[in-house]
Structure 1
Amino acid sequence: MPLKKVLFLTLKVFGFTGGIEKVCRTICRTLYDLSEEELVDPMTYCMYDQSYDRDSRYLKKHQYRGFGGNRKYFVVKSLLTGLKSDVVILSHINLLSVAYLIKRLRPSTKVYLIAHGIEIWRKLPEAKIKALKRLDKIIAVSHFTAEQIKSAHHLSEQKIEVLNNCLDPFYHFPSIFSKPESLLHRYGLRKDQVILMSLSRLVATEKYKGYDNTIAILPRLVKNNPNLVYLLAGKSDEEEHARLEKLIEQHQIRDHIKLIGFVDEAEITDHFLLSDIFVMPSKKEGFGIVFIEAVASGLRVVAGNKDGSVDALKNGELGYLVDPDNLNDIEATLKKILLSLPNQEEKMVLQQKVFETFNYEKYRNGIKNLIFNGAVKPADS
């Protein structure tokens, strides 16, 4: 049987550390594995990364090309290669125009789009909706994203399928859950302090992540837990940083909150180990890989019950789902967790649960089924 020629089109893969980029890296590794099984002949084109950004764990040199922001050349090469491919997978809706041309010129090529969240369920131009309808399938990362797409663009159920994101195939599962001394020293913290953590982009135009509400209830939490500290992690723009500083002064919580800025990918697990609770009651999360990473590090997680976080926490089996608009609900849940923080054994049980639900093997099988059968799940499942 001839190898399936698969073209994976992306915007960024290795030059950025967001959730979409993590999904892209996992798909790259999936294609790498399938090529080792002599099932596919894969190629990944990345619009903004350079070829030298490639991480060799995820794909081979000849399977990847970065175009360094040269959009015209990217589009031309994607079109030419796509017309010779059996399957084209898009990592983002902004690549839809290329796929539309491929589909029109070579209808037999199967074209699939990975749909993450707000980028696809917001209002779209009619041309993009028309292009969406020409796709063979849209793969939503959560049931929430799937429902939002259906209601926003009136697409048929047969057009959309759900494949939850997974933990990175190289994600490090810690076996010892002690707080890293280096981070305690860096942030001026003590071992006896209870630490809440949020990790998100802190951008003025994105106020749906829930950290405002966590800040609002912090004075009340501190009354019963004077050793409580809230680490708000993530790169911020100037406007948002200034707004957060005002909130901190307004609530008089300067001694109980630290804006720690960007956290390097290599240190994310250590920051989870430093913390006791991960809290991010968001409202427009497409899925939230950060939630499953936090659980994999043994953390109790509090997330919103109105978005893709529900899938990430497996309807509450892996963490606590709260009404993100209800301060009392968030406060009561955090107080409940603070009364009984998990021990080493309980953290290991959490790890096992999240691994069983969101492991790489499951995800790889889903992408494999999509490439060979046109559906994430087998017909008899």
Structure 2
Amino acid sequence: MKVIMIGPIETAGGVSIHTKELTRALKQLSIDVEMYNISSEKEYPTLVSNFIKLYRRTLGLSLKLIKNRKKSNIVHIQASGPVGGFLPAIFGAILKKLLGFHMIVTFHYSNTPLFVKKYKKLVSFVLRNSDMFIVVSNTQKMSIINAIKKYNDRIVVIPNGYNPLRLHKLPKSKARKELGLSPKDKIIVNVALLLEKKGHKYLIDAMSLIVNKYNQKNVRCFIIGKGPLKEELQKQIHELGLQDHVKLLGFVLDKELAYWMNAADLFVLPSLREGNPMVMFEALGVGLPFVGTAVGGIPEIITSEEYGLLCEPGNPKDLTEKILRALNKEWDREKIRKYAEQFTWEEIAKKTVEIYTHLLGG
């Protein structure tokens, strides 16, 4: 079995991580995978520029696909939104009509309903010319089915995964000692780009209620990640007098991130919209209980209060209640970690191989 995997592997973000990690795991299953980079929407801000530069960048790839069309059983494209991130799937669908290879598209996007509504004809074209169309949550799948109303049997759900070796498990006491954290404090960790859709302002508002209204002075929140809202969030922290309780740490390397995840009592993700966030799986993978909003694929993973609690998006009062409940709850962290094992990239790769095998008549 020969697979060509196409995705934005040289950029930052979840799609890049997904592409590289899935490719690595497929190779461990002895699948012959060749990975090709395609630029993301971020590099080309206009639609015309997208098409021109995508054509130039993929001309060599097109020639390779033509040359290898008999050797390659499957072309697997990692696509996203908005439209620039979806162009590789459109381009692949055109080539498939010309060359006749098997094509799978995995679609990653946190606002699938809006995307499908706006680009319905493009999504229909790609669906019609794909052998299989993978999405990362059932919520995403139903958004497409409700809008397109055709090709339902081609849409399958395979969630994101995580690499347990990236954030290995450590004793909480050791992690806190390394980071200089008090063993008496209740530690909340959030890892996300500082973007509006990630809902950080609601987490900061919730921290204000926790510290000031409920007088929980030993609760501290550490926000890891960089992004354009840094100054705005820092101003909010200052205005609420939370400098000692909420810290923006910026980007941290994996080694340090492992310490933060293992030092924490709770992981909180207050997003306004999500696909199926990989950081959720990483938190669960170290046995860290999860509090998050009931958006995207999150409720499909946090299916029991043994793993975490769900709250309404954009509702700091509800978020506060769930955080306080979680901080006062006795969690079986080993049970959480065991639950997460079904979402390792190795398990996700096995599900992907099942689709490959099905397409090839195995």
Deviation of the 1:114 alpha carbon: 0.9
Partner SS state of residue 259, structure 1: strand
1:328, 1:296 → 2: CA distance?
28
Distance, in Å, in 2 between the alignment partners of 1:228 and 1:175 is: 21
Q: 1:297 to 1:135 in 2, by over 3 A?
A: same
Aligned residue among 354, 358, 361 for 1:373:
358
Q: For 2:244, what is the secondary structure of its paired residue? A: helix
Contact kept? 1:45, 1:74, Cα under 8 Å: no
Shift of 1:316: 4.8
2:244 maps to 255
Matched, 1:89 2:76: yes
CA distance in 2, matches of 1:169, 1:94: 32
- Which residue among 288, 307, 312 is the counterpart of 1:299? 288
Other-structure match for 2:184: 192
* CA–CA separation in structure 2 for the residues paired with 1:76 and 1:192: 59
- Letter of the structure 2 residue corresponding to residue 160 of structure 1: I
In structure 2, the partner of 1:103 is 96
Counterpart in the other structure of 1:226: 217
- Confirm whether residue 332 of structure 1 aligns to residue 334 of structure 2: no
Residue in 1 that maps onto 2:51:
none
The amino acid that maps onto 1:30 is A
SS at match of 1:298: coil
Q: Look up the SS of the partner of 2:249 in the other structure.
A: strand
Question: Which of the numbers 222, 242, 249 marks the counterpart of 2:231?
Answer: 242
1:362 pairs, out of 319, 344, 347, with 347
State the alpha-carbon separation in 2 of the partners of residues 144 and 252 from structure 1.
Answer: 38
Shift of 1:82: 6.0
Q: Residues 192, 23 of structure 1: CA spacing in aligned structure 2 closer, same or farther, 3 A cutoff?
A: same
- The answer to whether residue 135 in structure 2 is matched with residue 149 in structure 1 is no
The code of the aligned residue for 1:103 comes to: K
**CA spacing shift, 1:214–1:82, aligned 2, 3 Å:** farther
1:33 to 22, 28, 35: 28
1:44 aligns with 2:35: yes
| Shift, 1:47, TM fit | 2.9
The DSSP-based 3-state class of the residue aligned with 1:236 is coil
Q: Name 1:66's counterpart in structure 2.
A: none
3-state SS, counterpart of residue 42 of structure 1: strand
Please report the TM-score for the alignment, with normalisation by the length of structure 1. Answer: 0.79
Output the amino acid matched with 2:347: K
Partners in 1 of 2:198 and 2:283 — Cα distance? 16
Amino acid at match of 1:45: Y
Q: Secondary structure at 2:173's aligned position in 1?
A: coil
Root-mean-square deviation over aligned CA pairs: 2.7
Cross-structure match for 2:335:
349
Q: Residues 93-139 of structure 1: CA distance to partner in whole angstroms, max 9, x if unpaired?
A: 331133123211133x2111111223755122734542332111111
Cα contact 1:12–1:47 (8 A) shared by 2: yes
Q: Residues 233 and 28 (structure 1 numbering): CA distance in 2 closer, same or farther, change over 3 Å?
A: same
Q: Output the TM-score relative to the length of structure 2.
A: 0.83
Contact 1:194 1:229 in 2 (8 A): yes
- Alpha carbons of 1:144 and 1:354: their partners in 2 closer, same or farther (altered >3 Å)? same
Which structure exhibits the higher relative contact order, with contacts defined as CA atoms closer than 8 Å and separated by 6 or more residues? Answer: 2
| CA distance in structure 2 between the aligned counterparts of 1:319 and 1:350, rounded to whole angstroms | 9
**Alignment partners' CA distance in 2, 1:262 and 1:171:** 16
1:47/1:229 CA distance change after superposition, 3 Å = same
Would the alpha carbon gap of residues 48 and 78 (structure 1) be closer, same or farther in structure 2, given more than 3 Å must change? farther
Letter in 1 for 2:94: L
Query: 1:374 Cα deviation (Å)?
Result: 3.0
Deviation at 1:217, TM superposition (A): 1.7
Q: Report the alpha carbon displacement of residue 289 of structure 1 after superposing the two structures with TM.
A: 1.1
1:134 counterpart letter in structure 2:
N
Instruction: Give the Å deviation of 1:81.
Output: 5.0
Instruction: Give a deviation string over 1:221-247, Cα, whole Å, max 9, x none.
Output: 11431021111110122xx12211221
| Aligned mates of 1:335, 1:127 — CA distance in 2 | 45
Of all paired residues, the percent bearing the same amino acid is 23
One-letter code aligned to 2:321: A
Unaligned runs of 5+ in 1: 50-68
1:169-204: CA deviations, max 9, x gaps? 64454152325256524xxx433221111111113x
Q: Distance in 2 between matches of 1:227 and 1:263?
A: 24
Distance 1:119 1:132, change over 3 A: farther
Unmatched 5+ stretches in structure 2: 41-54, 80-85
Q: Partner of 2:220: helix, strand, or coil? A: strand
CA distance in 2, matches of 1:242, 1:113: 38
